[in-house]
Structure 1
């Protein structure tokens, strides 16, 4: 796969350069024609440099024209003083000037990053020409003309000069290729794909970004020198601010991140600009239309057409990229130990008094634990208990508010993400973080190169040491992939392999760096049974090799099968710690997963001892059949069947990460990847309609997290909920508002206050009230009680019971099993994306059955 891409890129570059070399045969070899073609070559060189910064490193740099101008003026000024300089000496001057100016620009600009980096560099492109008009040394408005210097002699002229330019372009494309396929290039790609991923691999983000600017300065400096040498003139008009935009457009059209992209797109853009004849006045319009069309139709540029053609060819043949490799292979005995070797020195991870606050939210509170080498230490707990936050603190992603994490006595927390990697900590993430456009092998090689010593210049120039290092890295990567049963995927793009394989790639990447401690964040999520078995073997193999493992996992069957020690977190605190048997039997653990201390005070006298009303159910108003949904290639829920009747509350239960939120989103039409199944609302199929159409049909979703407009007033937020039905009379809107205020009297008093000033409970009331403004027949609520005090939870449920009495059908996701059983009529339990149990909340054994499922201590059987 990678060889094919390199050949394709080489063919495109070769074709482009041959076309450029032969262009004078088409456009003539007059002085004017050669000058125009030489100008195009100069700008193509600048585009090669911009591609390194934006295409390889992903940094929003909008001022390449400024660096080009500074370097060009440096060349012109020096050459004017020393007219004997040739093209080679001028290129050296241009590169040095570009390096210096890039450092001056990048050092402060990279402190901001993102949008602000783009604006800062674009401002630079505006300032430089304006400043040049006032500098006497730059010739002010008139610029600098080497032709006016009688001592200036240009030994290379005409077609030969143009061929020199094409040769320089070929040289800089080779330089770009060497950068892309070097240690530095792989770091740039990792940084572009995810700064979190790069830091977790030990890549120093700021330094690597600065590298990108310095590397981009080389072709930019060469471009400036060749421009001044060929045009023999430079002025503020030579680098108007719009030039940076045109260069950016060329890279977008040609395909950012590819070696051939700047040449392909540049020939199209600047060829059109120079030879559009009578269309000159419409250049901006035409290029704007082309750029918008490319962004919408082929966002990855022209190379995407080749990718689509290859995919279409494979579909016609009935094959897929990974079909030939199929399932994950079994683990060979001893393979993990051979890859990892034995840990050097003490590999004990000690977390002491670790705390982390985000504003007023205390995510982790005084957590202490010890993970021993050769043992598997599991972190479990309900949603929002602080498990991933703790892992982020240990791995340096977050700085702790208090406390420390040490590995073998060395402090690894509080100093960024690079230090833990350097001391032997490797980790995976909840959602696989990979460079999806790179091969599976390359995803491991970039990690291995961060712990193997080799000079960047040796890798960049392909010196013997660099070649040996790369061979060792990919041999080690192949061995790690084989050890994890996925060696057959090594040459395929990481974005084209199944989700389960992507998770195992992350694990293999962690093994490949021979860590002393491995942190695994929900590695079993979305895995098939065979992949799960392989994962368990890998985890056990890591411990057998002498390294420690800290694992977060919601599949408690996996945890209790492999863990030596288990620590249970609840609301950021440790509530239990010990062996699997001890933790399984602890009452505090059961309360954390199932809920405890549920108040029945909310209207118990009116609703009866069970908290349920007496509405007789009719035919289902919402019918869900064989629902399948996920994110991208990740399947999250499969085969979900639900029925909800008017005047009924259905509780959807399950551990964090099993697919409850995805189920509600899929029912509401917000499907992000794999999707299928039927959703019928009042007898009408709505499953494939847009979310706004489903909402207009009578289904309202209140998402988790109180997603309301905090800057708007309470009443304005509520009015937003009525827009789903289009324009309404003032009287109708006011009637609906009064209905919501009757349900939530506290909102009536706050109606003119910004939502940001409300308490968490009041904001949740606004979110529910906003949904009710559409007067739905079905209401879906995702974690409406999250973070609320018990009294406020009772108030929310009291409102839900009033709505139930009005024949509204309600589905609610609530982490508290006890509270759900107390308030709902029926329940379903989701485990690993499938419905595994269902029943009546009045059932005497309902809590016990759910407890056995959620705590992983019983076979899961469906019962209605």
Structure 2
């Protein structure tokens, strides 16, 4: 038995040990009878609070149904004691009935939001309590029913109610219940419950069904609550409906919040609170509901995690030593990773997609996609933002959400589209996520172990070995929030590799990593190749992606448009065009003489989100009256640069300088319109936010409406949800104009639009430039930016790779080179004002 296992057993033994000590003290008569009764009642409430505590803390479910389960157990005991039922029959009947109803509520509740779970459990409690009140032949109605003795069918003796024996039994059962909960804490059961609560989609990718986990958690919690009801009948000796009112639900939630959800000691604190709260209320001269309300409000405001976690944090701070950061995983090799040889052309196909289409309403995110992957092959999927890459990965892992999927996908001879997402892990499919969707309430080691239904010593050893290989062994007992972004990404990969998948799906694994981290990740992918793992990977960091890929398939508008070897696929004109775009006819731009003053300047600007570096050493000036395009692949840092130019994001390094009184406006990627509001209301909201009111608002609204095309001016009272994508983009620009900006920044103005709508949007942006507004376009398409801008800046991996004017005959060739690999043969220039 390992040291870890012994420590868990030692903690679990504390509950029965303390219960035994308390029973010994009670048996000496040192505690007055009334206080002994209160101790027995506190033990009953400890079991009840524990049932809610773990359900809320581990499964994230707050229930109002527990008074019904509590009453169920009590009435089972009272009725059984007067009808000759054995102790075992009462326990089994109460537990079975509670488990059945609990599983139903948990399974149904998992389909709804927290509000609907509360309403569902409230309705169940109201119906249950009404049935108990009306079923007088069983419950005695308002008069209640007396509890008599219970004989054991197994020869364990007779349990008498309302005496010291019942109090001892209650204390002992509470100790055992705490021990069971302590033993469950390091188990796969608790880890999988927490995983399903923390991130349902990621949980599905490792074979955890959130609905099943909710049903299981609710069933077990209901059994604990019913057992508390049996103990209540034994301790009190009489069961009446006044103990099970809806007020108990509020008190129970308050007790859980006060003690600390998910903590075992918190259940003891909550049990004591429920027992002695009436006495405390009487002592201070307040009605009990008022005192409970004050306690709950105070706990939520000052101790949101509960008393026990707050004390634990305080003790940790008092004894804490300075934390040493984990040592970085060092790559001692200077050689670039060498991918394993590609599989032979005769190697069997492990995955085949044929005419696969995914639609979300009227939007086709994937259309007629067909491709195949051979055993041991690493296939890279590339394409601009919105090309359908992540949708394709979601189809493979069963996480397409509300999309309608047609066509076929066959994995090792099995129809993949007919297989549940939770079953695909067992087929040998593992995946990572673009943003490293880990389980924040589980440690690094637990994030890996939760992939198992049952954890053995061998599983722990394998998980520890995997963490060592990935470079996470030193942080195995830390939580994801304590890790840098690079370590976070490694943890996501370690979880995907935990079950040794035959098909590994990687969603932008290189994104946000520095050069050293990308090299380490590439080496890990190569190790998987040499083990025979088939890999499907998408990313926008093309140089690192091509370094590990055997074959590349390019997507655009949901369809494959090109295929080839990593070094040759970009030679395909269709593939280059999908990234660089097709430039339309160059519109008439306002004339510039090169002496324009800069509206805003950036000097050595850096920016990082946590451990993710988005911008590095950016020097840039935006001349007044100009149209400047900032171009780069997804993840190059365009949106971050746009927000810093706008002034809504302060850089973590360097300096932003703007003209005094400069008014800026930002049209974010995705437009961020208020879909339920009308066109006019969207414009008015923007005006209010800019401080424009009264007559000035009406004047600004009329001016902006004139800028809109007639088909939108005629629908000012219609909801925005009814507009097409292009119309919404035009409205988003108009909303920004309500602030009367001198500088307008538009992020991805052409995203998701038809060519005709792209032309219209760009024409209207050009007209704004003629009206004297400085415009910055954040674009993926180099061709579109070159046809619409005075100057173009190419971002690559957060740095300016090249900038210049489209009129320069050498610029486009240099910009294309820099777009893909960040290299420019000529000296890098920056836009100057």
Choose from 215, 221, 236 the match for 1:231. Answer: 236
1:677 Cα offset (Å): 5.1
From 746, 756, 760, the equivalent of 1:795 is: 760
- The separation in 1 between residues aligned to 2:149 and 2:322, in whole angstroms, is 68
Q: Deviations over 1:40-61 (max 9, x none)?
A: 3322212211233222122343
Whether the 8 Å contact between 1:29 and 1:159 is mirrored in structure 2 is no
CA distance in 2, matches of 1:287, 1:676: 49
Counterpart contact for 1:518–1:547, Cα < 8 Å: yes
TM-score, normalised on structure 2? 0.88
Change in Cα spacing, 1:639 to 1:232, as seen in structure 2 (3 Å) is farther
| Structure 1 residues 93 and 668, CA gap change in structure 2 (3 angstroms) | farther
Alignment correspondent of 1:836: 801
| Structure 1 position 350, deviation (Å) | 1.4
Change (3 A) 1:92 1:396: same
Aligned to 2:377: 375
Q: Could you say if the C-alpha distance between residues 841 and 60 of structure 1 is closer, same or farther in structure 2, counting changes exceeding 3 Å?
A: farther
Deviations 1:385-439 (CA, angstroms, capped at 9, x unpaired): 0001001101111276222222222222242212321111111111112122222
Q: Confirm whether residue 682 of structure 1 aligns to residue 684 of structure 2.
A: no
Contact kept? 2:70, 2:229, Cα under 8 Å: yes
* Pair 857,714 (structure 1): closer, same or farther in 2 beyond 3 Å: closer
Which residue does 2:700 correspond to in 1?
Answer: 736
> Structure 1 residues 401-410 or 11-20, which shifts more?
11-20
For residues 357-436 of structure 1, the aligned pairs below 5 Å read: 357-398=359-400, 401-436=405-440
Instruction: Indicate the residue corresponding to 1:463 in structure 2.
Output: none
Q: Distance in 2 between matches of 1:488 and 1:668?
A: 41
Q: Which residue of 2 aligns with 1:693?
A: none
8 Å CA contact 2:356, 2:369 repeated in 1: yes
Counterpart of 2:143 in structure 1 is 142
Q: Deviations over 1:122-151 (max 9, x none)?
A: 2212222233222222211222123799xx
Contact 1:9–1:259 (CA under 8 A) maintained in structure 2: no
Among candidates 183, 201, 204, match of residue 199 of structure 1: 204
1:248 aligned to 2:253?
yes
- Measured in 1, the distance between the counterparts of 2:266 and 2:11 equals 9
Report deviation, 1:284.
Answer: 3.8
Is the 1:629–1:666 contact (alpha carbons within 8 Å) kept by the matching residues of 2? no
Secondary structure, aligned partner of 1:647: coil
Residue 255 (structure 1) shift: 2.5
1:545 paired with 2:522, answer no
2:177 to 129, 154, 172: 172
Shift, 1:231, TM fit? 1.1
Partner of 1:691: none
Q: Does 1:132 align with 2:120?
A: no
What SS is found at the alignment partner of 1:404? strand
Q: Contact between 2:637 and 2:797, CA under 8 Å: does it hold in 1?
A: yes
The answer on whether the counterparts of 2:646 and 2:664 sit within 8 Å (CA) in structure 1 is yes
- Secondary structure at the residue paired with 1:753? coil
Give the direction of change, closer, same or farther, for the CA distance of 1:107–1:526 in structure 2 (3 Å limit). closer
After TM superposition, the structure 1 stretch with the greater mean CA deviation from structure 2, 813-822 or 245-254, is 245-254
Q: Which runs of 5+ in 1 are unaligned?
A: 338-344, 451-458, 460-468, 685-696
Change (3 A) 1:274 1:44: farther
Which of 614, 630, 633 pairs up with 1:655? Answer: 633
The 8 Å contact of residues 162 and 236 in structure 2, kept in 1 or not, is answered as no
* CA distance, structure 2, for counterparts of residue 51 and residue 406 of structure 1: 44
Distance 1:817-1:507 versus aligned 2 partners, 3 A rule? same
Structure 2 distance, partners of 1:28, 1:358, is 71
Q: 1: distance between equivalents of 2:316 and 2:607?
A: 23
User: Residue 262 and residue 726 in structure 1: after superposition, are their counterparts in 2 closer, same or farther (change >3 A)?
Assistant: farther
Aligned pair count reads: 808
CA offsets, 1:342-388, max 9 Å, x none?
A: xxx96711112111011111001111111112221100000010001
Matches for 1:239-318 after TM superposition, within 5 Å: 239-268=244-273, 271-279=276-284, 281-302=286-307, 304-305=309-310, 308-309=313-314, 318=322
Report how far residue 745 of structure 1 moved: 3.4
Other-structure match for 2:780: 815
Matches within 5 A, 1:108-127: 108-112=108-112, 114-127=114-127
Residue 505, structure 1, aligned to residue 482, structure 2: no
**C-alpha spacing 1:639/1:82, structure 2 compared with 1 (3 Å):** farther
Report the Cα distance in structure 1 between the residues aligned to 2:368 and 2:315, rounded to whole angstroms. Answer: 55
* Distance change (3 Å), C-alpha of 1:301 and 1:347: farther
2:354 aligned residue: 352
User: Matches of 2:387 and 2:7 in 1, distance apart?
Assistant: 45
1:54 and 1:60 in contact (8 A); partners too:
yes
The answer to whether structure 1 residue 536 and structure 2 residue 514 are counterparts is no
What RMSD in Å do the two structures reach over aligned CA positions? 3.6
Q: What is the rounded CA distance, in whole Å, between the counterparts of 2:302 and 2:810 in structure 1? A: 56
Compute the displacement of 1:155 (Å): 3.7
Matched residue of 1:822: which SS?
Answer: helix
1:217 aligned partner? 222
- C-alpha spacing 1:104/1:350, structure 2 compared with 1 (3 Å): closer
CA distance in structure 2 between the aligned counterparts of 1:188 and 1:332, rounded to whole angstroms: 43
Q: Which runs of 5+ in 2 are unaligned?
A: 151-156, 340-346
**What secondary structure is seen at the aligned counterpart in 1 of 2:568?**
helix
Indicate the residue corresponding to 2:154 in structure 1: none
CA distance in 1, matches of 2:10, 2:641: 43
State which of 504, 525, 530 in structure 2 corresponds to 1:518.
504
- Whole-angstrom CA distance in 1 between matches of 2:701 and 2:25: 71
Is the Cα–Cα contact under 8 Å of residues 815 and 824 in structure 2 kept in the other structure?
no
**Equivalent residue number for residue 101 of structure 1:** 101
1:619 and 1:268 map into 2 onto residues whose CA distance is 69
The answer (yes or no) to whether the contact 1:498–1:633 under 8 Å persists in 2 is yes
User: Is the CA contact 2:802–2:824 (under 8 Å) kept in the aligned structure 1?
Assistant: no
Does the C-alpha gap of structure 1 residues 544 and 620 become closer, same or farther in structure 2, counting only changes over 3 Å?
Answer: same
- The question of 1:583 aligning with 2:563 is answered no
Question: What is the CA distance between 1:70 and its match in structure 2?
Answer: 1.9
TM-fit CA distance, 1:784? 2.1
1:863 to 818, 829, 833: 829
C-alpha displacement at 1:310, in angstroms? Answer: 7.2
